[in-house]
């Protein structure tokens, strides 16, 4: 069974980034993406599993898009990046992946968590 999670941390507020809308797409051709699902981070800045029942990660290229403008507006902050997109390559069907995002008004960083 596949699992795709994320956790977002606000480096400016030194707190979990709650209420960040996140969208998952899968690349279908070089220039086209297919919508898969969306969710919103909880109070701890997490989405434990973006994949609804019956949706599995298959091999291919995926994109997580974080609506950071919505988040910054909610917390009365100004951010330079209105959205952050992380594109990643799933090489093993059924993978369990967590993608963290550290977010600040002027930048962001990510890394693949070891599984």
- Bridge partners for 34 per DSSP: 26
Q: Using pLDDT thresholds of 50, 70 and 90, give the confidence band for residue 93.
A: confident
CATH class of segment(s) 3-110: mainly beta
Residues constituting the chain: 115
Q: Using pLDDT thresholds of 50, 70 and 90, give the confidence band for residue 75.
A: confident
Q: Is the pLDDT of residue 97 over 80?
A: yes
The per-residue pLDDT for 20 is 97
User: Can you give the residue ranges of every domain in the chain?
Assistant: 3-110
Neighbours of 30 (CB within 10 A): 6
Report CA dihedral (101, 102, 108, 112) to the nearest 10 degrees: -40
């Amino acid at each position: 069974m596949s699992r795709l999670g994320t956790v977002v941390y606000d480096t400016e507020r030194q707190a979990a980034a709650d209420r960040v809308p996140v969208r998952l797409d899968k690349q279908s051709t070089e220039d086209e993406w297919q919508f898969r699902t969306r969710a919103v981070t909880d109070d701890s800045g997490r989405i434990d599993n973006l994949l609804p029942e019956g949706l599995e990660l298959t091999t291919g290229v995926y994109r997580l898009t974080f609506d950071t403008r919505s988040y910054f507006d909610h917390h009365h902050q100004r951010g330079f990046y209105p959205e952050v997109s992380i594109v990643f390559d799933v090489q093993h069907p059924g993978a369990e992946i967590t993608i963290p995002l550290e977010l600040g008004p002027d930048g962001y960083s990510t890394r693949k968590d070891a599984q």
